[in-house]
Amino acid sequence: MPYQPEIIYIEEDAGKYDLTRRVLETFPEVPVCHQPDIPDVIDDLRQSSVDVFGAGKRRLLLSQFKGSFLKKCPGISPGMVCCNYYVVNLIKNCVYDCSYCFLQDFLQNNPLLTAFVNLEDLLTELEETLSAHPTHTFRVGTGELTDSLALDDFLPYSQTLIPFFNQQNNAVLELKTKSDRVENLLQQNDPSNIIISWSINPPEIAEREEKGTPGTAQRLNAARLCAEKGYRIGFHFDPVILYPGWKSAYADLIDLMFQNVPPEQIEWISLGGFRYRPNLKKMIKDRHEDTRLFTEEYQPGEDGKFRYLRPLRNQAFETLRRMVKDRFGDVNVYLCMETKEIWEGVTGKMPRSDKKLNQFFDL
């Protein structure tokens, strides 16, 4: 169902922006609260809701972001290899409700669905940063704390960001999504410097663990439409979830991907196992009683996150990488948030020794 908030909060100074006016025009019947006291709003949420995180998704806060938009990916953890990635957080929280989502833990202090409306400031910052470093290639994504496209119908960030990145010589934009909302993308004239990527899992995982999301077939159809428009496509098997029959399920998924997107259109495919901080496990079990995330054994890593046992990860990544290579040929396949030992065990080398991966890995 299309998203509709229960209430819209507008912080001081956010009301003057075009994006705020667009949201209000989209939801003329939704109650609006100007200049809310956010701590009081959150306290009320805690007192009135059993599922505070879920309730926060239905309360939309429009805000002016006053810090620096562009940041290095905060996913760098002790002992892990991280790609050279930059993030721009335009929304916090997500309308989807995936069982494994780290935001359940990360946004405990403020679970409100928050959208930042001062896009003009973002473009100014990007222009200054990219111009100051003309020899550095920036790979920028907007899908760290939300889904990049799930709300693009009334928060159409893509309509501003895509034309901007079309004109850049040293930057690409990745819009990472589980959505099939690609209407705005298909209306753009130029797909240059844009990668549209889908987080994807077999249908049985999507149905059980990725509540509220379009199904696997719908995502792949959206990927097909974007590929036909000329966009480069990415896929993220992240998190890979191991359960009885996972090998055949992922093999079928890769076949479906091959049927929908030509190999030459794919920019990269990433592999990342399910991982979690200790606090998240109880939240998942409390909010998602039917989850199958904990059917295997986990062990803590140097970064404090629990992951599948190393032999299981090695086997899973090696198997999936081989399946992908058999179908898609010499496509870029990289591991997300993994140790050097796993990298070497799965690929036989580190990213810096791979010419195709070297361009966006910073060790």
352 pLDDT more than 90? no
Using one digit for the tens of pLDDT, what is the confidence trace for 146-161?
Answer: 999 999 999 999 999 9
H helices present in the chain, as ranges: 18-26, 38-48, 52-56, 103-106, 119-132, 157-166, 183-186, 203-209, 216-229, 246-260, 278-287, 310-328, 340-347, 355-358
Question: Which range (41-50, 80-89, 167-176, 303-312) has the least confidence?
Answer: 80-89
Q: CA 81, CA 341: separation in Å to the nearest integer?
A: 10
Report the top-level CATH class of 7-358: alpha beta
DSSP 169: S
- pLDDT value for 350: 64
Q: Is the pLDDT at 261 greater than 50, yes or no?
A: yes
Helix axes 119-132, 157-166, angle to 10 degrees: 20
pLDDT tens-digit readout, 204-215 = 999 999 999 999
> If you average pLDDT over residues 280-297, what whole number do you get?
95
Spatial distance between the Cα atoms of 69 and 66, rounded to a whole number of angstroms? 8
Question: Please, are residues 23 and 62 in contact by the beta-carbon 8 Å criterion?
Answer: yes
Residue 299 clears pLDDT 90, i.e. is over it: yes
Cβ neighbourhood burial of 302 (10 Å; 0-12, 13-18, 19+): exposed
- From the CB of residue 107, how many other CB atoms can be counted at a distance below 10 Å? 20
Give the whole-angstrom CA distance, residue 326 versus residue 254.
10
- Per residue in 10-25, pLDDT (tens digit) is 999 999 999 999 999 9
Mean pLDDT across 162-178: 97
Q: Give 189's contacts (C-beta < 8 A, 6+ positions apart).
A: none
Please check whether residue 24 is in contact with residue 4, taking contact to mean a CB–CB distance below 8 angstroms.
no
Question: Per mean pLDDT, which range of 11-20, 66-75, 109-118 is the poorest?
Answer: 66-75
Residue 356 confidence (pLDDT): 55
Q: What is the mean pLDDT of the chain?
A: 93
User: What was the pLDDT predicted at 353?
Assistant: 46
Name the nearest CA neighbour of 265 among 230, 225, 216, 309: 230
Residue 52, pLDDT above cutoff 80: yes
Check: CB of residue 85 under 8 Å from CB of residue 197: no
High-pLDDT (> 70) share of the chain, %: 93
pTM (predicted TM-score): 0.94
Closest CA to 246 of 193, 313, 192, 196: 313
What length does the chain have? 363
- Is the pLDDT score of 44 beyond 70? yes
pLDDT at 79: 66
Q: What is the pLDDT of residue 363?
A: 33
Answer whether residue 359 shows pLDDT above 60: no
Q: Quote the pLDDT of residue 362.
A: 43
